[in-house]
């Protein structure tokens, strides 16, 4: 258990400086199973180190899979992950992978307060493989809520434009209920190559901004998504 599983007053507050990254679990192991990452508050501050400005913003990534031939990430729970408003361009992500992986039966909940102004992107699951490999998302639940500011973005699933995985997304519940002037999507695709998706529930309080096939440059509703991709014939878009 990282943080406190039930009491937010007994959680952990981390200040991000120097490298600016906090990754509770970063591994190339063959499995990451039954961990709880909860009630963690993060803040970042602007620093000068020997007259050099920090070269990247702070980030939180709950579980990071990298340099692995294949991993299984299952039955993990991430919730009550918050950031303060003292630094700009913080990256907030639940599970991120740059290696082949099967991600299933995980629960991710990130609810940002109205005063949270300092994240650049908020993604429940982030896929960014630079070499071919299989990535499978099965039976996961991702819930995002809170305020997204102008020029910021939030996504339950984000596949970057340089990802070269074979990506399968089935039997998941992805709900994005964030509001505000920024961009929100349930699933944001930087590339549509080698992609299969079905039997999911994609829901957003902004139904016309449900999905994107061009990394957020434009967004579409559920019917348009199914037409454009040929995927999710048996999926739905309903509130849980």
User: E strand or H helix at 226, and its extent?
Assistant: helix 222-229
* In the predicted structure, residue 90 carries a pLDDT above the cut 90: no
Q: Specify which of 12-21, 100-109, 180-189 reaches the highest per-range mean pLDDT.
A: 100-109
Q: Cβ-count burial of 223 within 10 angstroms (0-12 exposed, 13-18 middle, 19+ buried)?
A: exposed
The pair of structure tokens assigned to 59 is 């980030």
- What pTM, to 2 d.p., does this model score? 0.87
* In the predicted structure, residue 12 carries a pLDDT above the cut 90: no
Using CA atoms, how far residue 130 sits from 31, 40, 97, 127, in Å, is 21, 30, 10, 10
Stretch 174-191: mean pLDDT, rounded?
89
Q: What is the pLDDT of residue 53?
A: 45
* In the predicted structure, residue 58 carries a pLDDT above the cut 70: no
Task: Report the C-alpha gap between 22 and 60 in whole angstroms.
Answer: 5
* In the predicted structure, residue 213 carries a pLDDT above the cut 80: yes
Task: Report the C-alpha gap between 184 and 193 in whole angstroms.
Answer: 22
Q: Per-residue pLDDT tens for 222-235?
A: 999 999 999 999 99
Confidence grade of residue 15 (pLDDT, cut at 50, 70, 90)? very low
Q: Cβ-count burial of 124 within 10 angstroms (0-12 exposed, 13-18 middle, 19+ buried)?
A: buried
Q: What is the pLDDT of residue 6?
A: 59
The pair of structure tokens assigned to 200 is 């999911």
């Amino acid at each position: 258990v990282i943080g406190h599983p039930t009491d937010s007053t007994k959680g952990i507050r981390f200040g991000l400086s120097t490298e600016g990254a906090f990754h509770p679990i970063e591994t190339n192991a063959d499995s990451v199973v039954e961990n709880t990452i909860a009630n963690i508050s993060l803040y970042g501050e602007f620093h000068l180190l020997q007259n050099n400005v920090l070269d990247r913003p702070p980030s939180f990534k709950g579980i990071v899979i990298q340099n692995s031939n294949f991993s299984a990430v299952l039955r993990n729970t991430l919730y009550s992950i918050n950031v303060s408003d003292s630094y700009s361009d913080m990256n907030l992500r639940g599970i991120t992978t740059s290696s082949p992986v099967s991600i299933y039966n995980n629960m991710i909940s990130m609810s940002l307060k109205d005063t949270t102004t300092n994240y650049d992107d908020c993604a429940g699951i982030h896929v960014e493989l630079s070499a071919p490999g299989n990535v499978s998302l099965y039976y996961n639940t991702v819930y995002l809520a809170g305020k997204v500011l102008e020029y910021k973005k939030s996504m339950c699933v984000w596949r970057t434009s340089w990802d070269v995985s074979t990506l399968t997304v089935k039997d998941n519940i992805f709900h994005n209920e964030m509001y505000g002037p920024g961009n929100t999507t349930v699933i944001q695709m930087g590339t549509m190559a080698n992609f299969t998706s079905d039997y999911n529930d994609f829901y957003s309080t902004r139904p016309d901004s449900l999905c994107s096939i061009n990394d957020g440059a434009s967004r579409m509703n559920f019917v348009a998504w199914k037409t454009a991709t040929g995927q999710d014939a048996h999926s739905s878009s309903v509130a849980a």
